[in-house]
Amino acid sequence: MDIYEGFETVKQKLIIAGMQEIENHGITDFSLRRVASLCNVSCAAPYKHFKDKEDFIAEIAMYIYKQWKLLQSHVSEMFEENARKELTEICIAYVKFWIANPNFRSVLMLKPESLGAARKDVMSEITDKISMLIKEISKDKDEQIQEEQVFTIRSILYGATSMIDSGEIENADGTISMIRNCIDKVL
């Protein structure tokens, strides 16, 4: 069975296989030949879709960014009438997104110069959204308090994701409720 069967195009298959390659071998030992082999295509196939290895890796990061942006937009639309609820649910979606896609994290933990602007887009998207919603929710608080709220919420998200990933805390409904409660206390 082809594990990349559900993806429509060779380019999509290459991107998904490329994430696995980065997770398994890192950037320094990244092999376009291995990626092509995983997809059962010729070793020339990646060059039909990507200029070079760096372009390929940047495309992987952009793929992740687009997946997150789609999810974030959907959550925002569902809760756009209530900024507090929107913020909380985007944060929960963020944690679930990274837990469900561990190979995405391996790509985004690469050094920024390996990914170019794509990494900045992915990593700053959630921060920008949190900042915007905090300003709306906490408009009566001074700027320093708002910055501390953003920092605290980001810390909760990154810490919870890391602890769930390592098995330190369980990926369960109770954990998600605890994250919601912690965010609520910050607000």
Based on its alpha-carbon atoms, the radius of gyration of the chain, rounded to whole angstroms, reads 18
Measured at the alpha carbon of residue 124, what is the angle toward residues 122 and 125, in degrees to the nearest 5? 65
Say yes or no: 1 and 73 in one domain: no
Say yes or no: 82 and 7 in one domain: no
The type of residue at 105 is: R
**182: number of Cβ within 10 Å:** 17
CATH code, domain with 168: 1.10.357.10
> How many domains, in total, are found in the chain?
2
Say yes or no: 88 and 130 in one domain: yes
Say yes or no: 44 and 74 in one domain: no
**What residues make up the domain containing 144?**
63-186
* pLDDT value, residue 5: 55
CATH code, domain with 1: 1.10.10
Residue 3 lies in a domain: yes
The type of residue at 53 is: K
Q: Which two tokens stand for residue 35?
A: 């990626």
* pLDDT value, residue 110: 62
Give percent above pLDDT 70 in the chain.
Answer: 86
* Euclidean distance between the first and the last CA atom of the chain, given in angstroms as a whole number: 48
pLDDT in tens, 135-144: 999 888 999 9
Say yes or no: 134 and 159 in one domain: yes
pTM of the predicted model as reported, rounded to 2 decimal places: 0.79
Whose CA is closest to 71, among 32, 129, 30? 129
Is residue 169's pLDDT more than 90?
yes
Say yes or no: 23 and 74 in one domain: no
> Residue 163 — pLDDT band, cuts 50, 70, 90?
very high
Largest Cα–Cα distance in the chain? 60
Say yes or no: 16 and 71 in one domain: no
Say yes or no: 42 and 70 in one domain: no
* pLDDT value, residue 1: 42
Cα–Cα distance measured from residue 114 to residue 22, given in angstroms and rounded to the nearest whole number? 12
* pLDDT value, residue 143: 93
Say yes or no: 75 and 118 in one domain: yes
**125: number of Cβ within 10 Å:** 15
Residue 56 lies in a domain: no
What mean pLDDT is reported for the chain? Answer: 86
